[in-house]
Amino acid sequence: MTKPSGATLGLLIGAGSVGRRHAAVMAQRYQQLAVIDVSDDALAWARSQFSNVTMTAKSLDELAGAIGERAAQTTAVIASWGPSHYEVFVRLTNLGVRQIFCEKPVAVSLQQLRHMRKLCADHKIRFTAGLHLRYRGIPALVNEVSREQLGGQPSSIVVEGGARCIATNGTHWLDLALAIFGSAPTSVVADVHPEPVNPRSPSLMYWGGVASWNFPGGERLVISYDNASSVHERVRVYSRNGVVDIDSSFNVRGFKRDSTEVAKDPRVARVGDVDTSQPVTERLTDFHEVLGQQLDEIEGMIAPMYTSTQAFHTAEALVAAFEASRLGRRLALPIEESVIAAGVEWNIS
């Protein structure tokens, strides 16, 4: 484990709905908190809520001198709109900040992601992304229940629902799939399309359609979102003789087929229903704040559960889905830059 950083200054870029949750954690953690947001109202909110907010500004450039002087003791949280994340990350790197948490999406093009990944390696940046499901014990529970009670390891995950956006919410399920299957995907095919129905701003698109990622062991993740529907998504993890369902509150329930029925004809093509009246496992997920744990990781206080390599695998697999849709073909992963237009920037948040 790397040496703890001893960070004393928390730097929050973006104090919208997500950023305000992060501010509450950061204000308790750091001696001083600096907040950057283009909104006067957001900055006024930060000053009124937290006594240790010592610096506020509308741009990172306004605080560049102060941040640069204390870069070694600074941890930055990027919670601004998705299209700005790359530019903010590069600016922080140039100022000398080496501990960075970035909300999803990490970036909006393959070119941006590859450059960020290189900067992390070249400058030894401790980096993580705002994807929380693997921190809630879901991957371990799903694998344990599937292996011990449902006939084997998970073979596929199917996510279906209304206007939830393959980028905004689908990326959480993509990252969970990487954690459950234990590897990055090997290919992706997609047919996605945008609609101006994003509740944050109509200028940020919501992407509906279908995306499907294949994994090294033959596993598959399929996400299907319908922008014409207001129905919440449902998530089902399939194993040989049962399923694990994850509801909209991230509660986990496992169901299996009748054991006697399976024993009479165990062939996989002789299908049957699972018994939803008797869960083989049921766990209500504790929806606690995980930012503190992630900050502990990038500040070297605890060993990382989620590495920067894993974060970039998820981010690249997401962008690859949009590229696959644009090109109308399945793409092998990791993507060869000669195959796609790596600089294409996607309107995702």
Q: What is the pLDDT of residues 282-297, one digit of tens each?
A: 998 877 789 999 999 9
Single-letter amino acid code for the residue at 223: I
Q: Taking residues 243-271, report their average pLDDT.
A: 96
* Residue 98 and residue 219 in one domain: no
Average pLDDT, the chain: 95
Q: Taking residues 10-37, report their average pLDDT.
A: 97
Question: Residue 3's pLDDT is what?
Answer: 64
The DSSP symbol for 343 reads T
The backbone torsions φ and ψ at residue 183, rounded to the nearest 5 degrees and listed phi first, read: -165, 165
pTM beyond 0.85: yes
User: Which domain covers residue 145, as residue numbers?
Assistant: 134-283
> Residue 176's pLDDT band (boundaries 50, 70, 90)?
very high
Q: Pick the residue with more confidence: 137 or 200?
A: 137
Domain tally for the chain?
A: 2
Task: Please list, in sequence order, all residues whose beta carbon lies within 8 angstroms of the beta carbon of residue 284, skipping any fewer than 6 positions away.
Answer: 249, 251
Q: Are 174 and 221 in contact (CB under 8 A)?
A: yes
Q: Is pLDDT at 1 greater than 60 in this prediction?
A: no
The DSSP symbol for 165 reads I
**CATH code of 238's domain:** 3.30.360.10
Question: Residue 28's pLDDT is what?
Answer: 95
Question: Residue 338's pLDDT is what?
Answer: 81
Conformational region of residue 144, where left means phi above 0, alpha means psi within -120 to 50, and beta covers everything else: alpha
Question: Residue 336's pLDDT is what?
Answer: 86
For residue 166, being part of any structural domain is answered with yes
Half-sphere exposure of 329 (CA within 13 A, CB side): 7
Q: Is pLDDT at 105 greater than 70 in this prediction?
A: yes
* Residue 146 and residue 279 in one domain: yes
**pLDDT tens-digit profile of 182-216?**
999 999 999 999 999 998 888 889 999 999 999 99
Percentage of the chain lying above the pLDDT 70 cut: 99
Give dist(CA 133, CA 183) in Å, integer: 16
Q: Is pLDDT at 2 greater than 70 in this prediction?
A: no
Give dist(CA 3, CA 98) in Å, integer: 13
* Residue 162 and residue 268 in one domain: yes
* Residue 13 and residue 121 in one domain: yes
* Residue 110 and residue 14 in one domain: yes
For residue 75, being part of any structural domain is answered with yes
- The token pair at 157 is 């995950």
In the listed set 253, 283, 313, which residue is the last one of a domain according to the structure?
283
Question: Residue 288's pLDDT is what?
Answer: 77
Half-sphere exposure of 316 (CA within 13 A, CB side): 27
For residue 325, being part of any structural domain is answered with no
Q: Are 75 and 8 in contact (CB under 8 A)?
A: no
* Residue 178 and residue 125 in one domain: no
> Residue 7's pLDDT band (boundaries 50, 70, 90)?
confident
Judged by DSSP in three states, 35 sits in strand
- The token pair at 91 is 């600016």
**CATH code of 86's domain:** 3.40.50.720
Question: Residue 342's pLDDT is what?
Answer: 81
Instruction: Find the helix or strand (DSSP H, E) in which 34 lies.
Output: strand 32-36
Question: In which residue are the tokens 């165990």 written?
Answer: 266
Q: Are 225 and 173 in contact (CB under 8 A)?
A: no
For residue 121, being part of any structural domain is answered with yes
Q: Is pLDDT at 251 greater than 90 in this prediction?
A: yes
> Residue 308's pLDDT band (boundaries 50, 70, 90)?
very high
> Residue 337's pLDDT band (boundaries 50, 70, 90)?
confident
